[in-house]
Structure 1
Amino acid sequence: MNIRLPSLFARTRRTLTLAIGALAIGAAPAWAAWPEKPIELVVGFAAGGGTDITARTLALFLGKHLGTSVVVTNKVGASGEIGLAYVAKAAPDGYVIGMTNMPGLVTLPIERKTQFKASDFSYIANLVRDPSAFSVLANSKYKTLNDLVTDAKAHPGEISYGSTGVGTDDHLAMVLFERLTGTRLNHVPYNGAGPLRTAVLGGHVVVGGMNLGEVAPFQEKVRVLAQASNGRSALAKDVPSFVEQSVGLVFNSERGIVAPAGIPADVQRRLTEALRAIAADPEFKKQMASQFTEMDYVEGTAWKARLDKATADFVNLWKTTPWSDK
């Protein structure tokens, strides 16, 4: 028998190489081709509010950047907790992400035992902020913020104030307002800015605590008494600030994107790169400006550090001025 050993070894080496290659392909991580299917973007509030509108605008841009469809779903209830819990419990594969609303993201676990905790999330980036605002019907007897303050002092606990839920930015804006002015309002929570706006327009509540972007398009029907930027917003220069009316309230709804903790690093990187590009996109900025929403892009570690600082501040506020009896 005449066997040429070099040729046999060569064939064996080629066979082993092909086998190892096949194993490597079979063992390739599932996220190597991510995304391979639509992504669900979860909003914890009803359709029609600022967080929902921001999310639906973002979904169009994010879908183009990632080459897939991004579908917004509203998981409504418990001041946004239902939506956040849904994201926290989702598989960490990047196919479920959530649009957050700060302060609720950090205040809900302070005031109650929530179905999520801070460590349940991967923090991708904050995108925008939307100043808090107090609004009344256009024909309201309250022409200025001072009119409201004067009447609230004369009738403590009688003037109804609607918010988007206990522990949300709209609710805490009221808590801080009461603390700054020595007043007390009658808090009425709703499941989002859409239902709340309907309640204000229907006269079911006197004052609506909604973000500037949620009421500015309706100024023919409502009067915005004040908005909570440091000064007048460049997007609504006719709306006075609380500060210029001698009430030092500066407060915003901050909206960002989280994913379940433990998502693959490559998926988090792709999400971050997409959001960074979108935040710099002139067309996205134009869309946000048309919604009276200010850009405030902060990503990853820096965003989480800012949230941690906010958490500490709200813990201190809770000790002196608890905003819920839960």
Structure 2
Amino acid sequence: MFINRKIVQSVILGAAAFGLGHSASAQQAYPSKTVQVVVPWTPGQATDAAARMAADKLSNAMGQTFVVENKAGAGGTVGAAYVARTKPDGYTLLAGSTGSITTGPLLNGASYAAKDFAPVSLIATVPYVLVTRSDFPAKSAQELVDILVKNPDKYTFASSGVGSIGHLTAELFTNRLGIKATHIPYNGSAKALTDVMSGEVTFMFDSPTSIASHVQSGKVRAYAVSSKNRSQTLPDVPTVAETTALKDFDLIAWIGLLAPAGTPDSVLDALNQQINANLVGQDVQNRYRTLGIDLATSTRADMARVIADENERVGNLLKTAGIKK
């Protein structure tokens, strides 16, 4: 039996072309089913709200449902640990933040590390605001610093808990300026802020979400925000860098999407592209402003740098300040 070589070659080439086309089609098909976005906090918090906004935009842009599921507990580490163990195929994402990715492993003994995740994109940042009671004698951040420096160990600062972003920001602020003040940790920021407003505690760094209405009503005095740029929620409040000697001061919380390490680059790139293209617009800005968070997207590489830099700075700060759970 004779076989026509030209026919065989045609069949082989056709099969190869089909295989390549089929492979490319499979790659382009992501997502082909529902994507789970895990929020390691309870519903209603800033991370949850930002994740739901991103999930809604991704659902509309990518033609599949991105469903948010809350897996709270242990300072954000329960949900993060769950995602770290899942298959790295892009169908389980984490709405991570400073608390779950940085302080969780460094301070709370989490079973994972930042390297166990692949950054997708930032979706928001949260600056912290330096506040005192409304009638405290200092009229500016520098005047507040002068009073605190001249009276070591006389004053106190509050936080929502040991290792919280407000605590870390205050520790960095006081350490770099040579301020000696006593830390008073609370279980959450509500009671802490109440005691600052009454004068029971001198000052604190808190999120715009918590303090914006009190600033507007005159119940607290806002001196400065911890970010290098002014807050979109409180644009009239200067930065620490603008009002003190700390010209490079910049410490914020971030919120972003991450996937398990090992997720294909094609999937991560597709998600990043859609976030940057669709998490925009006045509706997003308006929603974020009500939450007290700032809109921020990024490349994958830039988000990786944010996490690496934060891990180094927070790790050093924990050691310098002797912060332990």
Q: TM-score, normalised by structure 1?
A: 0.75
Q: After alignment, is 210-219 or 77-86 more displaced?
A: 210-219
Which residue of structure 1 aligns with residue 180 of structure 2?
A: 182
Shift of 1:66: 1.7
* Secondary structure in structure 1 of the residue aligned to 2:297: strand
Partner residue, 1:298: 298
Identity of aligned residues (%): 24
Which of residues 68, 71, 78 in structure 2 aligns to 1:72?
68
| Corresponding residue for residue 168 of structure 2 | 172
5+ unaligned residues in a row in structure 2: which ranges?
A: none
Letter in 1 for 2:272: T
| Partner Cα distance (1:76, 1:153) in 2 | 43
- What SS does structure 1 have at the residue aligned with 2:163? coil
Distance 1:305 1:107 in 2: 16
Query: After the TM superposition, which of the residue ranges 86-95 and 215-224 deviates more from structure 2?
Result: 215-224
Question: What is the alpha-carbon distance in structure 1 between the residues aligned to residue 79 and residue 149 of structure 2?
Answer: 34
Aligned residue number for residue 258 of structure 1: 258
Q: Is the Cα contact below 8 Å between 2:123 and 2:296 reproduced in 1? A: yes
Amino acid at match of 2:186: V
Secondary structure, aligned partner of 1:250: coil
Cα distance in 1, alignment partners of residues 231 and 12 from structure 2: 69
Figure out how many residues of one structure are paired with residues of the other and give that number. 313
| Matches of 2:167 and 2:111, distance apart in 1 | 20
Within 5 Å, give how 1:132-151 maps onto structure 2. Answer: 132-135=128-131, 142=136
Q: Secondary structure at the match of 2:83?
A: helix
CA distance in 1, matches of 2:64, 2:49: 20
Contact 2:37 2:69 in 1 (8 A): yes
Provide, for residues 206-246 of structure 1, a one-character-per-residue CA deviation record: whole Å limited to 9, x for no partner.
56643224432554385253322346435423435445554
Rounded Cα–Cα distance in structure 2 between residues aligned with 1:153 and 1:108: 35
Structure 1 pair 40–223 and aligned structure 2 pair: CA distance change class (3 A): farther
- Which stretch of the first structure deviates more once superposed, 234-243 or 46-55? 234-243
1:44 and 1:74 in contact (8 A); partners too: yes
Distance between the aligned counterparts of 1:93 and 1:30, measured in 2? 13
Q: SS of the residue aligned with 1:298?
A: coil
For residues 75-224 of structure 1, the aligned pairs below 5 Å read: 75-102=71-98, 105-135=101-131, 142=136, 161-163=158-160, 165-179=161-175, 180=177, 181-190=179-188, 196-197=189-190, 200=193, 209-217=205-213, 219-220=216-217, 222-224=219-221
Per-residue CA deviations over 1:19-55 (Å, capped at 9, x if unaligned) read: 9969x96x99976533233322222233333222222
Shift of 1:122: 0.9
d(CA) in 2 for partners of 1:238, 1:184? 29
Alignment partners' CA distance in 2, 1:157 and 1:62? 51
Give yes or no for the alignment of 1:322 onto 2:318: no
- Cα separation, partners in 2 of 1:160 and 1:127, compared to 1, 3 Å: same
Tell me the alpha carbon deviations over residues 190-220 of structure 1, each in whole angstroms, 9 at most, x when there is no partner: 3xxxxx3477469999566432244325543
Alpha-carbon separation, structure 1, partners of 2:166 and 2:52:
21
Note the alpha carbon deviations across 1:51-81, whole angstroms, 9 max, x for none: 2222222222122112222222232233222
Q: From the superposition, tell whether residues 215 and 60 of structure 1 become closer, same or farther in structure 2 (CA, over 3 Å).
A: farther
Matched residue type, 1:94: G
> Following the alignment from structure 1 to structure 2, what is the Cα–Cα distance between the partners of residues 313 and 175?
12
Letter in 2 for 1:83: G
CA distance in 1, matches of 2:57, 2:70: 19
Counterpart residue identity of residue 235, structure 2: K
Q: Please name the residue that 1:193 is paired with.
A: none
Following the alignment from structure 1 to structure 2, what is the Cα–Cα distance between the partners of residues 253 and 149? 27
Structure 1: where are the runs of 5+ without partners? 191-195
The answer (yes or no) to whether the contact 2:232–2:293 under 8 Å persists in 1 is no
1:310 aligns with 310
Cα deviation for residue 141 of structure 1 reads: 5.7
TM-score by length of 2: 0.75
My pick for the range that moved more, 292-301 or 122-131, is 292-301
Q: Name the CA shift for 1:186/1:39 in 2 (closer, same or farther; >3 Å).
A: same
Whether the 8 Å contact between 2:208 and 2:233 is mirrored in structure 1 is no
Q: CA deviation at 1:134?
A: 4.0
